[in-house]
Amino acid sequence: MKKILSTMFISAAMILGLASKVLAENFTYKVYNPKLNKAYTAVLGTIGLTDTQYIWGFYEPDGRVLCVINLNTNKDSQGLIGSQCTDIGAFMKFMNGDHSVNLSDKKHELGWREKSTDTFYREMESIRRERATQGKYEYQPKF
């Protein structure tokens, strides 16, 4: 019985460890979906593309992926960094071969911004370091 319980515990720990996203510093961000006229509190994380590569995304605190981040950022008048991100549903359709989805179309864009200044790049760097220790690196497109 002890052996079964310890095996179950180890298996559960491994599954949770593999399934969890990396949230290094746990800052929160605001993501706005204009199509639904809804704002979300989100956390920064990574979305695995392969066993060794990832892209950046925002998640709801319950773990649901909201969008894939566009890293061309800007600052508003209050010094908060923000940009656009692509709705995860449209992104996944495109990645699964539905090339009728135009990812440049504004209808798939959500806006995002920091809730506090100087959090975005600091958190990204923290996550990059953590992922590198796991042998995972940010996807670099080849143009």
Give the CB-side neighbour count of residue 56, counting CA atoms within 13 A. 21
Q: How many percent of the chain have pLDDT more than 70?
A: 82
**Structure confidence at residue 141 (pLDDT):** 83
What mean pLDDT do residues 50-55 have? 96
Confidence of residue 25 (pLDDT cuts 50, 70, 90): low
Q: Is the full-model pTM beyond 0.75?
A: yes
Has residue 6 got a pLDDT over 80? Answer: no
- Tell me the domain boundaries of the chain: 22-138
Nearest CA to 108 out of 98, 117, 118, 123 is that of 98
